[in-house]
Amino acid sequence: MNTVMPNINLHIYHSSITHESRMLKETQTVAEAGFADQVVLIGRWREGLLESEHIDAKRQIWRVRMRIGANSSSRLVKVIRYVEWFARIFWRYRKCRVTVVNCHSVMELPIAPLFKLLRGSKIIYDTHELETETTGLTGHLQKALRLIERSLIPFASAIITVNGSIAAWYKDTYNLDQVFIVRNIPIQPKHLPKSNVLKDKLGLTTEQMLFIYQGALEEGRGIYLLLNVFQRLPPDKHIVFMGMGTLIDAVKACAQRFPNIHFIPAVPPAQLLEYTCSADVGLSIIENISLSYYLSLPNKVFEYLLAGLPIIVSDFPEMAYVIQKSQAGWAVPVDRDRLYALISQITWEDIQVAQRHASEYRLTIGWHEEAKILRSVYQHLALSDSNC
């Protein structure tokens, strides 16, 4: 009796696969739609994490443990480990029925020819940002990644990215006919908790206006701009930073000096909505330090909107478009004086109007809408197989 091999979908990403919300949503959609019998998220092992981890009946995580030069800082050794990572992935699945491979950044594209040419797999280039134009990417590494992307993108059967501006860049740069847009929008919550947890935690009254920044405390995220602005604002306007990152000490230092600046550590995902809902305005001030940042559409924009919060965002193409469409906040030039002028003039009446728009707009967005597009990508690939 012949045994039918399971249909496997690999999602490969050069990370430790711990907080990759986009990958988890995508793989859940694929598994629930029945496009694969098994879905495997593949990353890199690091100390303290399991090598293998089951998410549910169809999904699992494999963190590849490399054997070569684990403690070496040599560039050559890092390249060798990178090759070893690919070799271990391909060797494990060399005899399996891998129908689709999702490469979640340019770093994974070198594995595409192996699976496409030797196993007949469909390749999805599943970019999370404008891959070769990211912050801090310069010199020889940037040139190498641009070469990899340009050389290997023809192996992709479909290309997915996160917003219209980045999709247009890929189409223009590589003369592509089609790029699918699947935005990284959280799952729409069924109910919004009525909570005052943040103001209670910070000792604020309901009359004091609370702005929230949640996410990575890193360069390019407007952290210093916001600290400067709130140092000058009157005591009835407060900001709370909720997250972790390299700028955490700068935030904590300001929080000790200025009574309207606050910090609390990142909370577990299950508690995040309750905390977000208890603020008055969400902040997403990205700085123009790379083309990828300029064209970005941060996940936190939708986290705020799905929590019913008005938002203040950088006046960049994608974020400004959300403001234009939703009327749920303000797009402001990334300038400390312009940001100060805006926040100092915002009234409770302004917030109430923007909040009504946010409450209406939130009902039109959510991962369920993005999942429709993702399913169409897989259906497109299945149809192209049946037409061969």
Q: What DSSP letter does each residue of 62-121 carry, written as one string?
A: EEEPP-S-TT---HHHHHHHHHHHHHHHHHHHTTSEEEEEEE-SGGGGGGHHIIIIIH--
Other CB atoms within 10 A of residue 352 CB: 10
| pLDDT digit string, tens, across residues 194-241 | 889 999 999 999 999 999 999 999 999 999 999 999 999 999 999 999
pLDDT band of residue 165 (cuts 50, 70, 90) is: very high
pLDDT at 386 over 60: no
Residue 373 has pLDDT above 60, yes or no: yes
Contact 260, 176 (CB under 8 A): no
- Residue 275 has what pLDDT? 95
CA distance 322 to 334: 17
**d(Cα 362, Cα 341) in Å, to the nearest integer?**
27
Cβ neighbours of residue 131 under 8 Å, at least 6 residues apart?
Answer: 105, 106, 145, 149, 292
Is the pLDDT confidence value at 388 over 60? no
Which domains does the chain carry? 7-185+367-386 (3.40.50.2000), 197-364 (3.40.50.2000)
Enter the pTM of the model: 0.92
Residue 69's contacts (CB-CB under 8 Å, 6 or more residues apart) are 77, 78, 80, 81
Nearest to 342 by CA among 248, 261, 230: 230
| E strand segments, 129-195 | 158-161, 180-181
Looking at every residue in the chain, the average pLDDT score rounds to 94
Tokens representing 328?
């749920």
